[in-house]
């Protein structure tokens, strides 16, 4: 795919295949036609969950499509299922776990099924140097990270696109017949040299949004948690599914966990060393990466920092605590206050984050290892 230039500082771009520039989420809400999650919706969610996840309280899950409808159906006894996924192109990093942590909370609170799609086909088609065999193998490696999040094995089904193609292909065909090239061109940035597999692919990502309805021969509402980069796929899906006699899927969308080095865009595999913490990183790697690369909002010298204080709004370590690793609002507020006033130094803030991530990863890696024994229970078979 040909990369388009991001022209000015206020210019940014979000597609499933490129996130560039400084993303303005309020503008994105307008451009994508998604709805902001407001206090009224939060109250409706809270009615069912009893409490609000910190990612909702802090506006990290910030937008949605049709959540009001989904909750109305739920209240009528028409339970939904969850659908999310992963494009297995390499190791899983903290950015990927981010929507999965929230998805796990939704599964626990609503007691619903999760359908998890591994798109080995997508990554083979979109990545220049990835073989189909490697993408397929990576799907099963990445599935261990999904299972390690603690999803309920009785209520969770992992689909691997190429291995479940027999079931999925027929449904993808029905979707693809309703999509023209001009519909996908602008959404995904395709051009004359895009391969034709890329052009077809979005039909495969549409399928899990209605597959459980096809299997059970009964229409079931679907809720898709994801970061906002995936919205173009589901905007199309929502246009097509009613034409095939299915519900439009609802979605709940989060912003991006930034790269460690504070660069624009999302945490992604292109800046592996300075931008990304993988779930398989050792405690030493985590410590080294954060100390060396985590973009700091602190002052140049300790004296200046004590005098002027730090800026948590741009400090990546603080942002990681806020977005992922410090769910306790009171503790987070204390860190913010101390950092802003200059009482807490950058080194101390980084140390808090290193400990939090390493505690989290120690547990995650243990569960990831155990997941190898349970993989089979999660794989969808038909
Ligand atoms: P993938 O593998 O790029 O990403 C998996 C999930 O992680 C989200 N994500 C992030 N969230 C926060 N911060 C980040 N830095 C960050 N980077 C990635 C993605 O939005 C996604 O939710 N095509 C998809 C796979 C897929 C899928 C789905 C995703 C298939 N069906 C349904 C979501 C919902 C992909 O390549 O995701």
What is the per-residue pLDDT across 159-210, written as a single tens digit (0 to 9) for each? 999 999 999 999 999 999 999 999 999 889 999 999 999 999 999 999 999 9
Q: With H, G, I as helix, E, B as strand and everything else as coil, classify residue 96.
A: helix
Q: Is the pLDDT of residue 365 over 90?
A: yes
Ligand 1 pocket, residue 98 CB under 6 Å: yes
Average pLDDT in the chain: 94
Question: Cα separations (Å) of 255 from 40, 247, 297?
Answer: 20, 26, 20
CA–CA separation, 347 and 351 (whole Å)? 6
DSSP 9: T
The pTM (predicted TM-score) of the whole model is: 0.96
- Predicted local distance difference test score (pLDDT) of residue 5: 43
Stated as kind and residue range, the H or E segment containing 211 is helix 211-216
CA–CA distances in Å: residue 252 to residues 34, 61, 231, 307: 10, 7, 10, 42
Whether 271 shows a pLDDT value over 80: the answer reads no
Are the C-beta atoms of 116 and 146 separated by less than 8 Å? Answer: yes
Q: 156-160 and 61-65: which strand pairing?
A: unpaired
From 34, 82, 99, mutation site for ligand 1 pocket: most ligand atoms within 8 A of C-beta: 99
For residues 66 and 4, the model is more confident at 66
Q: What pLDDT is recorded for position 327?
A: 97
CA distance 81 to 192: 37
Q: What pLDDT is recorded for position 197? A: 98
Q: What is the pLDDT of residues 168-182, one digit of tens each?
A: 999 999 999 999 999
Residue 83 alpha carbon, nearest atom of ligand 1:
32
Task: Judge whether 4 and 13 are in contact, CB under 8 Å.
Answer: yes
Residue 119 beta carbon below 6 angstroms from any ligand 1 atom: yes
């Amino acid at each position: 795919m040909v990369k388009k230039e991001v022209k000015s500082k206020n210019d940014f771009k979000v597609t499933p295949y490129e996130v560039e520039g400084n993303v303005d989420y309020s503008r994105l809400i307008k451009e994508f036609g998604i709805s902001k999650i407001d206090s009224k919706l939060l109250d409706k969610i809270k009615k069912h969950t009893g409490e609000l996840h910190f990612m909702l309280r802090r506006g990290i899950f910030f937008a949605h499509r049709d959540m009001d409808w989904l909750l109305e159906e739920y209240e009528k006894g028409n339970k939904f299922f969850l659908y999310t996924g992963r494009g297995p192109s390499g190791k899983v990093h903290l950015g990927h776990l981010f929507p999965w942590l929230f998805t796990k909370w939704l599964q626990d609170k609503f007691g619903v099924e999760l359908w998890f799609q591994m798109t080995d086909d997508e990554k083979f088609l979109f990545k220049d140097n990835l073989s189909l065999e490697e993408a397929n193998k990576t799907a099963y490696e990445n599935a261990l990270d999904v299972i390690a999040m603690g999803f309920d094995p009785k209520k969770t089904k992992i689909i691997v696109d190429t291995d479940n193609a027999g079931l999925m292909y027929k449904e993808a065909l029905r979707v693809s017949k309703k999509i023209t090239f001009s519909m996908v061109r602008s959404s995904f940035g395709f051009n004359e040299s895009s391969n034709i597999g890329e052009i077809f692919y979005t039909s495969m990502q549409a399928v899990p949004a209605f597959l459980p309805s096809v299997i059970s021969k009964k229409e079931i509402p679907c809720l898709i948690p994801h970061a906002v980069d995936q919205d173009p796929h589901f905007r199309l899906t929502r246009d097509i599914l009613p034409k095939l006699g299915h519900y439009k899927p609802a979605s709940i969308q989060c912003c991006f966990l930034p790269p460690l080095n504070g660069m624009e865009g999302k945490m992604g595999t292109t800046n592996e060393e300075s931008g990304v913490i993988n779930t398989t990183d050792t405690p030493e790697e985590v410590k080294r990466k954060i100390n060396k690369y985590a973009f700091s909002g602190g002052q140049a010298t300790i004296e200046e920092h004590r005098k002027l204080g730090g800026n948590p709004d741009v400090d990546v370590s603080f942002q990681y605590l806020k977005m992922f690793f410090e769910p306790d609002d009171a503790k987070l507020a204390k860190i913010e206050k101390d950092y802003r006033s200059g009482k807490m130094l950058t080194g101390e803030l980084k140390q808090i984050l290193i400990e939090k991530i390493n505690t989290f990863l120690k547990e995650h890696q243990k569960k990831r290892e155990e997941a190898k024994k349970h993989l089979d229970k999660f794989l969808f078979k038909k």
